[in-house]
Chain A
Amino acid sequence: MSRRLLMCAGFAIGVSVAAPAAAGPLDHPGYPKAFSCSACHGFAGNSRSDAMPILAGQHAGYLKKALQDYAGGKRPSAEMEPYAKMAIELGVDDVASYFASQTRMPTASAIDRAAAERGKAASAVCAACHGPTGKGDAAKDMPDITGQPVGFLKNQLLLFKADKRSPGDAALMQPKAIIKGLPDDTLADLAAYYASQR
């Protein structure tokens, strides 16, 4: 019996309503290695909380670098270090490509439009690396920060300012110097601006 006939037979007795042929949301080879992440980062990496970053649609190279930095303690985080080590054991390329291949749903957290406007006006210093709207640069492992939660972005900027994110990383000395020169209010405005970008 052909597959189609089998399916029709199934329908006739009321079995199945969906064709099994198309790849489903769990069929990516990275899913069994990345499934733990959704507890904090949301299904398919689309975090719906203000504190947790969206991983969906992030550049794979950047995700890999971030996981390696967490695992090695270069980017200190008690929460991320054990998971990063697990991701590396399981296959960091599969994990990174799983999230990179997901469609980003921009943050659902509230964005202050006036703050976003002020942030846009202050964003020229960020554009050199992150691009004019924050899409980043896959070739340089520069993250896509568009549509990320405001709280997450603001928190990261404050960690950079206090040199608590990747402390001592030579590659980050220049951006940290820029951020240190900005008042906290401006950092909040920048967070609102990039959160509002699509």
Chain B
Amino acid sequence: MGVTRRTFIRTFTTGLALGATGALTGCAASMRGDFMPKAGKRVVVIGGGWGGATAAKYVRLGDPSIDVVMLEPNKQFISCPFSNLVLSGLRSLDSLTMGYDGLRKQGVKIVHAEAGAIEPDTKRVRVGEGYLQYDRLIVSPGIEFQWEQVEGLPAAKDRVLHAWKAGPQTVELAKQIQSMADGGVFVLTVPPIAYRCPPGPYERICQVAWYLKQNKPKSKVIVLDANQNIVSKTALFRAAWQAYPNIEYRPSSKIVKVDVGTREVATEIGDKVKYDVLNLIPPQRAGSIAVQSDLVGVDKRWCEVDHVTYESAKAKDVHVIGDSTIGLPVPKSGNIANAMGKISASAVVALLNGRPAPQMPPGNTCYSWVSDREAIAVVNSYRIASGKVVQIEQKLTPAQAVSVAQNAVGWAQSIWADVLS
């Protein structure tokens, strides 16, 4: 009896799976030369965050004949959205930590390693001592910090917490806040725009102020904001802060120096502020791989892209998505990164199959918790006009509400699944 097509495929699938497993479990030593030879069409995705994980999944959904390899050093995904609730003790980091098995079920091959360099001319990504060949590359490296912008910070960067990439620092900052004496001063510094998650610092201020009000009523929160005013959801945050007289907000107070010995920060205008617990959110730029591989623009910070395909303005067949991008009128949010993941996936699938990329404008929904039970939201929708993304409308919830917080939980559950399963 001859081999039927189905059994042939099944046999071959098993063979591929075993082959892939062999490559994926290999240690760095096995990452030499072309360590996962490309046979058919292949998309490599750099970064397994909101943008990259979504893109990897949706390329597979769009065309399962495309081999998708995702490079992500971390074994687990930790959600930045909702991580401010860890600081107020309302959430555990565990509840925001998810695995990548859902992506594996979609056929995404995950290599837990960092991309070393991008070589657009040869269509290779360097990994360890080897490389991966791609037909199209999707780069979603998130943000990196500009430590050098604050005097004293490069030497103290392991002790001064940003907690701006959810993970161990989030837990450590929560511990510091919990162990601060009643009467202690918590200082939070907001970087100049553009930075990841525009309303994030202000939500964090609410959460820490709420926690201190309940547990350490003599303590206060001093906010040193590099910007002239609250960057996002301004009136709603102002209204929420009415409940927290322990917040002292100082706009136009860009931080330029930190001294961990005297526990003091200094601003551009010469103010010096003593702290008991410091949360310094440094200025930001695109993830390191984007800078090292020269995908950033003249500002050396962010990546310009085509608004329909997300192909880099600097490198052919390389697409950049998520917080690393600039030039679109969209915030650096998880929801936007998720949207860009889907859009870039559709573009890449179409282009690899010889079709034009569809025009898919993104949308953004962004919730912020202003207490233990109430939230606010901003929603933006967009259109594509003459090849550029432009906003149709921005809408804010009329006031903070428990019902908005319920929707926030629903959004989180749905979008985590959209990214990862």
Answer whether A and B are interacting partners: yes
Chain A residues contacting B339 (CB-CB under 8 Å) are 35-36, 39
Chain A residues contacting B8 (CB-CB under 8 Å) are 11
Q: Is the CB of B335 within 8 A of A49?
A: no
Bound CA–CA A134/B417 (angstroms): 27
CB of B309, distance to nearest CB on chain A (Å): 13
Known: A79-B407, A86-B361. A17 touches B395 (CB 8 A): no
Q: Is the CB of B379 within 8 A of A83?
A: yes
Chain B residues contacting A85 (CB-CB under 8 Å) are 381, 392-393
Known: A24-B64, A26-B58. A40 touches B410 (CB 8 A): yes
Q: Is the CB of A89 within 8 A of B392?
A: yes
In the complex, the chain A residue whose C-beta lies closest to that of B15 is A14
Chain B residues contacting A52 (CB-CB under 8 Å) are 407, 410-411, 414
Known: A17-B13, A40-B365, A78-B396. A35 touches B342 (CB 8 A): yes
Q: Is the CB of B40 within 8 A of A16?
A: yes
Q: Select the residue from A14, A17, A90 with max chain B CB neighbours within 10 A.
A: A17
A-B contact count (CB 8 A): 138
Q: Is the CB of B398 within 8 A of A78?
A: yes
Question: What are the interface flags for B252-286 relative to A under an 8 Å C-beta threshold, 1 for contact and 0 otherwise?
Answer: 00000000000000000000000000000000000
Report if A167 contacts B (CB, 8 A).
no
Bound CA–CA A82/B394 (angstroms): 7
Q: Is the CB of A32 within 8 A of B360?
A: yes
Q: Is the CB of B63 within 8 A of A48?
A: no
Q: Is the CB of B383 within 8 A of A86?
A: yes
Contact of B380 among A32, A38, A50, A82 (CB under 8 A): A82
CB of B150, distance to nearest CB on chain A (Å): 35
Report if B292 contacts A (CB, 8 A).
no
Known: A11-B12, A14-B39, A17-B64. A32 touches B358 (CB 8 A): yes
Bound CA–CA A79/B364 (angstroms): 10
CB of B16, distance to nearest CB on chain A (Å): 6
Q: State which residues 371-407 of B face A: CB under 8 Å.
A: 377, 379-383, 392-398, 403, 406-407
In the complex, the chain B residue whose C-beta lies closest to that of A13 is B39
Bound CA–CA A15/B37 (angstroms): 11
Known: A11-B9, A151-B406. A39 touches B335 (CB 8 A): yes
CB of B296, distance to nearest CB on chain A (Å): 27
In the complex, the chain A residue whose C-beta lies closest to that of B357 is A32
Q: Is the CB of B381 within 8 A of A42?
A: no
CB of A10, distance to nearest CB on chain B (Å): 6
CB of B158, distance to nearest CB on chain A (Å): 35
Q: Is the CB of A83 within 8 A of B381?
A: yes
Question: What are the interface flags for A25-51 relative to B under an 8 Å C-beta threshold, 1 for contact and 0 otherwise?
Answer: 110000011011011111100011111
Report if B413 contacts A (CB, 8 A).
yes
Q: Is the CB of A155 within 8 A of B403?
A: yes
Q: Is the CB of B415 within 8 A of A40?
A: yes
Report if B362 contacts A (CB, 8 A).
yes
CB of A180, distance to nearest CB on chain B (Å): 19
Q: Is the CB of B413 within 8 A of A48?
A: yes
Report if A189 contacts B (CB, 8 A).
no
CB of A164, distance to nearest CB on chain B (Å): 10
Known: A39-B339, A79-B365. A47 touches B414 (CB 8 A): yes
In the complex, the chain B residue whose C-beta lies closest to that of A14 is B39
In the complex, the chain B residue whose C-beta lies closest to that of A18 is B64
Bound CA–CA A16/B40 (angstroms): 7
CB of B334, distance to nearest CB on chain A (Å): 9
Chain A residues contacting B365 (CB-CB under 8 Å) are 39-40, 79
Known: A14-B39, A24-B61, A86-B381. A78 touches B361 (CB 8 A): no
Q: Is the CB of A16 within 8 A of B410?
A: no
User: What are 7 A-B contacts defined by CB distance under 8 Å?
Assistant: A33-B360, A40-B414, A49-B411, A49-B414, A51-B409, A52-B410, A79-B407
- Known pairs A39-B418, A40-B410, A82-B393; list 9 more (Cβ under 8 Å): A17-B64, A41-B414, A48-B413, A51-B410, A78-B379, A79-B397, A85-B381, A86-B382, A151-B406
Interface residues of A (CB under 8 A from B): 10-11, 13-18, 20, 24-26, 32-33, 35-36, 38-43, 47-52, 78-79, 81-83, 85-86, 89-90, 151, 155
